[in-house]
Structures are given as structure tokens and as C-alpha cells.
Amino acid sequence: MKKNVPFGKRKIIAFFFVLIIIFLFLFSAQTINVIKKAFSDFIVISLQDYQKQKIGDITFHFKKEDEKFIGEVSHITKEAMEKVNQNFEEQGSNTFHVVIYPNFMEMKKGLKLSSEGSTLGGYYGGNLFVLSPEQLKKKNSSLENIFLHEYTHLLVEKRTKGNHPVWFTEGIALYQEYIVTGYEWGKDAPYRKNPYCLDQLENEFYQLDTFEAYRSSFLRIRFLAERYGEKTLLKIMEQLGQGKDFQNALEMTLRKENNILENEFRLWYHDNFYGKL
């Protein structure tokens, strides 16, 4: 027989249900960050047949065959961190793990990646994951750029408390590579004459053409840095860290409406790139 819940209790249950929904809405970014951190640390502690070595604030995990590279990796990591920290005006230190996978199959298994693509490095939940320097050399890829890129993700997530669109952190990371090493991602490859609009990047990033989405992200960050100064990026991150969405954070920082900023971006792009295609 079905029992009826008294009206008073139903009100109490409904009240607490609403409170839970509000709590999840307000603290969703923080909750997601906690889950990501827990899963990332689980990946690290689940490593089998890996050695580990703590150098400064970083703990490196690696297979026996990659032990000979740890000095090189540690040096590159330290230099990359110093450069990005300076650009971010980062104070203090950051403690994290770096997992060096001997090959892509091991990385794919550890990070649950799809078999498609050729991931060379990754950031997840406060830790960095990279391919062995031996593998990177075969692919003619720079270990410095990979560390610059992934460590930048760590700082963006820290500054924004995880409240940022994917395109923004990818654009920032590519921009750090550009200003530190001079490497401009996608410079010599063909790409769209018109970058993706902001709404597309914010709402459809993973459905867009990967190359063009990353290129568009980089160009938008470069525009903000060149037009308004690199500290503008830090101010936007500060606004994001306070819980604002990107477009509100942008307007609050620059005191301009987004349609005006979008027009400025399009003009900047036309002057610097469109006529040179």
C-alpha cells in the first residue's frame, strides 16, 4: 500500500531539494574541480612499474628506460615554469605530479584517450602528463613547448578556480608558447579567412574543426594582449575566478560591450591576417 507523505514533510523535502540544487549550481565549478583532482591523483597512484623522483615541488613518475631523461626534463620544466610564472605574476610555488609515458599506447590507457589523434601531452586535475622525450624527438616535437602549454593550463585553472571556457585556456596556452619561444601555432597552415565567432567557441568547441578552433582561440587571446596589454588577460582570469562568465568578465575588465569588442577583433584580424592570405 502506498503511504502518503504528510504535507509538512513534503514542504521540508522540497525545501532541502531546492537548497541542494542551488548549492550544486553555485558550487558546480568547485565540485567539478574536486572530482577532477581526485581522478587525476588516482591516475598517478594507480601507475604500475613506474619509478618516481621528487625534485623541488614536482614529483616525476617514469619508466626505467626514461630515467636517463629526468635531468633534462627537470631542467626544461623548471625553466618553463619560471617563464610562465613571470608572465602570470605568479607568487609562491605549485606542487604537482608529472607522469612521463614511454609511448602513446601507455598514455592512451592511463588517460582513457581515444585511439584517434596523437596526444603529446596533457593537463588534468592539477597534474601534467607527457610522452617520453625519446618519443617526442621522433615526432619532432618540443618538450619545452609542451610543458609551457600544459603548465599554463594549471595556472589558468588555479586563477579562474576552474571557471573558464575551453577555448580561453587553450588560447592562453598557445599564446604563452608564442611569446616565450616565438612558436606561432598554425602560422603556415591554411585556415579560415574568418575565425570562429565567440559563441561558437564557447558553446561548440569540441564540435568545431579542431585546427581552426585552436587557431581562432589563439588569435582572440593575441588580439586582447596586443590591443589591451597582457595584464588584461590576468584581470579577466580574476573576474572568472569570482564566478562571472567569460563575456561578462570581458565587459567588466574592458568596460566595453561585447559587440564593440567583436568588431574590434574583426578589424584587427583583417588588418593583420586577412589581407595576407
Interval 73-132: pLDDT, tens: 999 999 999 999 999 999 878 899 999 999 989 998 888 887 666 788 999 999 999 999
* Same domain as 143, residue 45: yes
H/E segment holding residue 182: none
Beta-sheet strand order (sheet of 96-101): 51-55, 58-62, 96-101, 127-131, 121-124
* Same domain as 34, residue 155: yes
Domain finish residue from 120, 140, 162:
162
**pLDDT tens figures, 201-238:** 999 999 999 899 999 999 999 999 999 999 999 999 99
Answer whether residue 189 is part of any domain: yes
**Residue 243's domain spans which residues?**
164-277
Closest CA to 155 of 142, 143, 172, 167: 172
Residue showing cell 615554469? 81
* Same domain as 198, residue 92: no
Domain finish residue from 162, 194, 210:
162
How many structural domains comprise the chain?
2
Task: Tell me how far apart the terminal alpha carbons of the chain are, to the nearest angstrom.
Answer: 75
Mean pLDDT of 184-206: 85
* Same domain as 225, residue 171: yes
Distances in Å between the Cα of 76 and the Cα atoms of 73, 79, 132 are 5, 5, 13
* Same domain as 136, residue 39: yes
Domain finish residue from 140, 162, 184:
162
